[in-house]
Structure 1
Amino acid sequence: MIRFSVLCRYVLCTALLLVSVMTGTQPGFAQTSGSNMDAVLVVDVSNSMTQSDKNKVSNEAMKMFVDMTSIQKNKIGVISYTDKIEREKALIEVNSEQDKNDIKSFIDSLQKGAYTDISVGVTEAVKILDAGHDPANAPIIVLLADGNNYLNEAAGGSQAQSDKRLQEAVKAAKSKGYPIYTIGLNADGQLNRAPLQQIAADTKGKFFETSTADKLPAILSEIFANHLKLKVVPIKSFTSNGQIQEVPITIPNANVLEANISIMSQKTVEVKLFDPAGKEVPIPSDPVRLSRSNAYTMLKMVQPQQGNWSLQVKGVPKEKIDINMIYNYDLQLEMEPVKAQTLNAGDVVPIKAALVSNGQKVSSPDLYKQMKGTLIISDKTDKKTSETPLTNTGSGFEGSFKIPADHQYELKIKAEDTSFYRETQPLVVDASSAAGAGTTTGQQPNTGANSDEKPFPWLMVAGGAVILLIVAAGALYALSIWRKANKGFAGQLAIEIVDEDTGDKSNPQYKKLNAFKGKVKLHQLLQLAPEFQETDKVIFLPGKNDTLIIENRSTCRIEKAGRVLDMSQGKELKKNDRIKISLTSVNKSVFVDYIV
């Protein structure tokens, strides 16, 4: 039976939507906090990149981005493209170091191709976010390319068609709130900046350019920090003398969840780390994770102790070493609600905000010590923006806003220090004459009792009761649909691909199902490879008691224990069941084992 409290919430949500239709108002929905992200990394792997990115540092940069990611519900996907999708890994949830290693191994396996069509990569990135984006996470697309198209005209490719597809993909990304950060690779001086700049500007991302490939890890660090409202903190740059060189590391407060120390060097470095008490911390260990690559060494300090740490670095003589840090905080900035009231020019609106973690105010004087608070005022009538400093009370920020004119304003508070910044959700203050007397910040004012007694509106009450019954029925239906769409999976699938012409068999790929909700298509598990497109209609659904339901709406033939099954209406798969899926577009078969 559906719990009454749950039903009430669904009735309320549906009623709010109904009210919005009837009155023209729009209910406010919470936006993502941005503490976690769903990131799609897109890289041009055409032959031209052999010169634009001679040492494949784009791969190193993407791996560094993966290493910086926290193991806390973040998702990462990867696309490599030419004039088609060469390889693809759909969004997977990063729950362990092994998940990160799987993604980095996939990046290392990317190969070059002949032609280039930038619209292909951007279009597919939007599709991947559409298919797997968690609304609680902040979406992001990172595109690494030289901006040049080299189309296969013999196969019908044209610049006009590519431009049209790109415009459509960028428009879709903008409408869905998918910012695209573009990195122009210019090692050979052939960078085409215009399309990359336009893509970033249109989607509220940011454009970067580098003619030196070894700067890519630093750029990826800045993108990572910018998207999560963090700041890259420069620690030290020096030329190694071949001896141990000491680098001070400061953990400013107890609210730091992680500190990512990135050491950029083209040669391997030796590192040691000492806590504030002078005790050496083993590397790697539970509190300190170690990642190495051809272009960087990264230390991830997990919930580090506040205080002054010491990092010892020993590099190759005369090798340049750059060290940066990014702190990761589980903090949000919330503005206190403003009491609903009639507002006019000259009125003063009190402003208060504080940092919160897990819904609770953070009481940490050390955290507020170096922070600066600013009230950002956007005049929606005159299209002007101004800023006013706020007072740091040691436990929050306070100030006031005196309404200068009968206009509509949007107020937002920003708090920042040297390592991160946060912004509140905007508050709309409407003092415009167009709003009419009685307009308030939160609700319609009570106009008081009417001196002329009116009859009780029985017809309106009866109509409201009928509407409520309809809303309740709709809520019950919506709840059943929501539960079905968000039901979780158990176990994993082991997938092997057999070439029926040669008999060659791939190594088993193990796909964890707990990253998906409601349903998952076999095509997603096959990394959306174009040759397996027909498996887009082979669908897995969560069943009862840790089982799977498989539906086949494709032309593929599915066998179990040598018998062809009719799965158009769905068949149950139990623990250790094995099925064979024979494709029709290519002479290959996919073997799937269900493991719980």
Structure 2
Amino acid sequence: MIVNPGFGPITHLAAILWVCDAEFPTSVMTVRSAIVRQSISFSAVAAWAAFIVWSFLPCLPQSAIATERDAPPLYIVLEMDTSASMAVSDPQRLLPKAVELLLKLLPAQSRVQILGFDSHVRDQTELLHLDDEQRRKVANFAKEIVKHTNVGTDFLPPLEAALQTLTPQSGENYRPVVLLFSDGITNVGSNAENQGRQTQVLQQTAAQLQAAGIRVFTIAFSEHVDARFLREIAELTGGLAMIAAQPEQLSDLFTTLFEILEQPDMLPVDRVVHVDEHVSSLSLLLQNKPGTTGNVALVTPQGDLIDAASNQPDVRWTSGQGYQLVDMDHPQHGDWQIQQPAGEHAGKAYIMSDVSLRVEAPTLLDIGASPTPTLRAWLDRGNGEVLKAPALHIQAKISRLNDQRVPDVVIELADKDGDGRFEQTLPRLEPGAYLITVEAEAKNLRRIKKHGLTVAALPKAETPASPPSSGDDDSDAASLIALVWINLALLPIVAAAVYWHVNIRKRL
């Protein structure tokens, strides 16, 4: 907040001089004379009131927190390893199908480029907006490039290409992200040449990506992948390193990537989805296991049965390989029941709502970081207004992404200041990639949001962003208080000037 404590008093003094016939420039006095002939008393009072309002406008508080609702669009370069080993690692070609699902989930303002690489960058699209036509174009391109395989794997060309594509130009505002998918290791020649190329990628290219604000999320696939090298790329750029042990995990992995990158508000799903009155749109992602037979249907809160064959004007039903996506505008409020074949898990529920869960946490921290980082969360009505819901409870589950043997850690957040903002310090975590699932629950209202966190084994250049210092806020508050007192002190003078002009001058 910017406060000019001298602006208000100056305008009040101008009002006094205007009323009392001070020497103003001729053009101003001409206008003043015309107004006086109409109604001097009304003009003086109106001008004084306008000056008061005008002087206080710059002092109105503004939201200082950039939330995901206000976040700029995602620009993504998806880099797919097309070396010959991919035909063995992913024989059913499930990667393009997972990419298609990610494209379905991303909002239209996102832009995506896909490129295939082995020892070189072989094929690539332009950076395309995701309207319906471009989604199909990018999805078809992903299916085609995996058919053309070559020998060798070099991570330098695709990362340099992403650096050229995503480096922000002056005046541009977007979130640049690289999704690097590979099942192999660096293979450009001898062991010495391979080691030299990895050093070049880490010390030069990754450093350039980090300096440009481009985060690299790496997806390692197969037991032969150089997971350590991919993890270091992710850590250096503030991204996240993920592992898909089996091709069947790719759809879930890409769904998690969407939830981390776009951070949509979500509802809990367990055969039933409760849609509260604040929800304006609902997207249900219902995933099917391979070989599953049977139809998926929904039962509305009013008891109507709908499925993909139903003709509902506000319901769009999209079927893909292994999933069904149901988009609804203005869904009925209440409990929606999900009917799926036996053995299927219910899926995910993404919403648009005028009450959103906000999460503030680091994306990258060094092991043993001091001071201990804090996780903050609150319900937001929009424009920074915090919702203080009765009996609100917020907790977070911290899960190790690439090692399910590590037990989850659950922490309770507390509203220590009674302002509706909950917080808790993060526990000490071992190096690795983590998924933080934050859930807020109040009467008839629940929200879920996902957040990705990397704990680096060694100190990195980037440290978690610290919350804004309270010093600036204190200074602004002091300036505002001073401005109020000065304006109040001038109030009797302005009133006396108006009274003199309206009453006494008429007698002279």
TM-score tier by shorter-chain length is: 0.5 to 0.7
Q: State the one-letter code of the partner of 2:137.
A: D
Q: State the one-letter code of the partner of 2:244.
A: T
Q: State the one-letter code of the partner of 1:419.
A: I
Partner of 2:81: 44
Q: 1:103 is matched with which residue: 121, 127, 138? A: 138
The reply on whether 1:251 has 2:275 as its aligned counterpart is: yes
Q: Distance in 2 between matches of 1:260 and 1:78?
A: 26
1:340-366 CA deviation, whole Å, 9 max, x = no partner? xxxxxxxxxxx9976143x37476959
What is the Cα deviation at residue 81 of structure 1? Answer: 0.9
Q: State the one-letter code of the partner of 2:254.
A: L
Q: State the one-letter code of the partner of 1:249.
A: V
What is the Cα deviation at residue 135 of structure 1? Answer: 5.0
Q: Aligned runs of 1:274-313 on 2, under 5 Å? A: 274-281=299-306, 283=308, 287-313=314-340
Q: Distance in 2 between matches of 1:141 and 1:352?
A: 27
The reply on whether 1:429 has 2:458 as its aligned counterpart is: no
Q: Distance in 2 between matches of 1:391 and 1:372?
A: 14
Q: Distance in 1 between matches of 2:84 and 2:307?
A: 43
**TM-score, structure 2 normalization:** 0.58
Kindly indicate whether the alpha-carbon contact (under 8 Å) linking 2:244 and 2:250 is maintained by their aligned counterparts in 1: yes
Partner of 1:80: 116
Kindly indicate whether the alpha-carbon contact (under 8 Å) linking 1:118 and 1:166 is maintained by their aligned counterparts in 2: no
What is the Cα deviation at residue 160 of structure 1? Answer: 1.7
What is the Cα deviation at residue 259 of structure 1? Answer: 2.5
Q: 1:388 to 1:113 in 2, by over 3 A?
A: closer
Kindly indicate whether the alpha-carbon contact (under 8 Å) linking 2:413 and 2:422 is maintained by their aligned counterparts in 1: no
Q: 1:389 to 1:363 in 2, by over 3 A?
A: closer
Kindly indicate whether the alpha-carbon contact (under 8 Å) linking 2:260 and 2:450 is maintained by their aligned counterparts in 1: no
What is the Cα deviation at residue 162 of structure 1? Answer: 5.2
* Larger relative helix fraction: 2
Q: Distance in 2 between matches of 1:364 and 1:152?
A: 61
Q: Distance in 1 between matches of 2:389 and 2:253?
A: 32
1:221-260 CA deviation, whole Å, 9 max, x = no partner? 1111122335877746xxxxxxxxxx32333552364424
Q: 1:390 is matched with which residue: 415, 427, 432? A: 415
Q: State the one-letter code of the partner of 1:100.
A: R
Kindly indicate whether the alpha-carbon contact (under 8 Å) linking 2:168 and 2:212 is maintained by their aligned counterparts in 1: no
Q: 1:307 to 1:35 in 2, by over 3 A?
A: farther
Q: Aligned runs of 1:5-16 on 2, under 5 Å? A: none
Q: 1:322 to 1:180 in 2, by over 3 A?
A: farther
1:171-202 CA deviation, whole Å, 9 max, x = no partner? 1222232222211111xx31221111111222
Q: State the one-letter code of the partner of 1:209.
A: I
The reply on whether 1:325 has 2:372 as its aligned counterpart is: no
Q: 1:142 is matched with which residue: 179, 194, 201? A: 179
Kindly indicate whether the alpha-carbon contact (under 8 Å) linking 1:196 and 1:207 is maintained by their aligned counterparts in 2: yes
> Of the two structures, which has the highest relative contact order with CA contacts closer than 8 Å and spacing of 6 or more?
2
Kindly indicate whether the alpha-carbon contact (under 8 Å) linking 2:202 and 2:232 is maintained by their aligned counterparts in 1: no
Q: 1:286 to 1:101 in 2, by over 3 A?
A: farther
**TM-score, structure 1 normalization:** 0.50
What is the Cα deviation at residue 332 of structure 1? Answer: 7.1
Q: Distance in 2 between matches of 1:302 and 1:137?
A: 27
Kindly indicate whether the alpha-carbon contact (under 8 Å) linking 2:267 and 2:351 is maintained by their aligned counterparts in 1: no
Helix, strand or coil at the partner of 2:125 = strand
Kindly indicate whether the alpha-carbon contact (under 8 Å) linking 2:187 and 2:194 is maintained by their aligned counterparts in 1: no
Q: Distance in 2 between matches of 1:260 and 1:47?
A: 36
Q: Distance in 2 between matches of 1:254 and 1:134?
A: 35
Q: Distance in 2 between matches of 1:191 and 1:290?
A: 37
1:446-473 CA deviation, whole Å, 9 max, x = no partner? 7xx9xxxxxxxxxxxxxxxxxxxxxxxx
Q: 1:333 to 1:117 in 2, by over 3 A?
A: same
* Larger relative strand fraction: 1
The reply on whether 1:171 has 2:207 as its aligned counterpart is: yes
What is the Cα deviation at residue 44 of structure 1? Answer: 0.3
Q: Distance in 1 between matches of 2:208 and 2:139?
A: 28
Kindly indicate whether the alpha-carbon contact (under 8 Å) linking 1:332 and 1:422 is maintained by their aligned counterparts in 2: no
Kindly indicate whether the alpha-carbon contact (under 8 Å) linking 1:259 and 1:326 is maintained by their aligned counterparts in 2: yes
Q: Distance in 1 between matches of 2:171 and 2:268?
A: 32
What is the Cα deviation at residue 64 of structure 1? Answer: 1.0
The reply on whether 1:61 has 2:108 as its aligned counterpart is: no
Q: 2:448 is matched with which residue: 419, 422, 425? A: 419
Helix, strand or coil at the partner of 2:187 = coil
Partner of 2:380: 355
What is the Cα deviation at residue 308 of structure 1? Answer: 0.9
Q: Distance in 1 between matches of 2:394 and 2:423?
A: 15
Q: 1:122 is matched with which residue: 159, 167, 176? A: 159
What is the Cα deviation at residue 104 of structure 1? Answer: 1.2
Q: State the one-letter code of the partner of 2:308.
A: I
Kindly indicate whether the alpha-carbon contact (under 8 Å) linking 1:327 and 1:420 is maintained by their aligned counterparts in 2: no
Q: State the one-letter code of the partner of 1:74.
A: S
The reply on whether 1:272 has 2:312 as its aligned counterpart is: no
1:249-278 CA deviation, whole Å, 9 max, x = no partner? 333552364424131322365222232112
1:401-457 CA deviation, whole Å, 9 max, x = no partner? xxxxxxxxxxxxx9742522699x9543368xxxxxxx87555977xx9xxxxxxxx
Q: Distance in 2 between matches of 1:134 and 1:327?
A: 32
Helix, strand or coil at the partner of 2:298 = strand
Number of matched residues? 350
Q: Distance in 1 between matches of 2:422 and 2:195?
A: 55
Q: Distance in 2 between matches of 1:361 and 1:443?
A: 20
Q: 1:36 to 1:49 in 2, by over 3 A?
A: same
Query: After the TM superposition, which of the residue ranges 167-176 and 212-221 deviates more from structure 2?
Result: 167-176
Q: State the one-letter code of the partner of 2:84.
A: N
Q: 1:132 to 1:107 in 2, by over 3 A?
A: farther
What is the Cα deviation at residue 39 of structure 1? Answer: 2.2
What is the Cα deviation at residue 292 of structure 1? Answer: 3.0
1:303-330 CA deviation, whole Å, 9 max, x = no partner? 5333211222347xxxx53432042446
The unaligned stretches of length 5 or more in structure 2 are 1-63, 361-375, 397-410, 425-436, 441-446, 453-464, 483-508
Kindly indicate whether the alpha-carbon contact (under 8 Å) linking 1:81 and 1:121 is maintained by their aligned counterparts in 2: yes
Larger Cα-atom Rg: 2
Q: Distance in 1 between matches of 2:268 and 2:88?
A: 30
Helix, strand or coil at the partner of 1:90 = coil
Q: Distance in 2 between matches of 1:311 and 1:360?
A: 34
Kindly indicate whether the alpha-carbon contact (under 8 Å) linking 2:265 and 2:449 is maintained by their aligned counterparts in 1: yes
1:538-574 CA deviation, whole Å, 9 max, x = no partner? xxxxxxxxxxxxxxxxxxxxxxxxxxxxxxxxxxxxx
Q: 1:183 is matched with which residue: 205, 208, 219? A: 219
Q: Distance in 2 between matches of 1:354 and 1:29?
A: 13
Q: 1:150 to 1:34 in 2, by over 3 A?
A: same
Q: 1:427 to 1:276 in 2, by over 3 A?
A: same
Helix, strand or coil at the partner of 1:98 = helix
1:514-558 CA deviation, whole Å, 9 max, x = no partner? xxxxxxxxxxxxxxxxxxxxxxxxxxxxxxxxxxxxxxxxxxxxx
Q: 1:372 to 1:295 in 2, by over 3 A?
A: closer
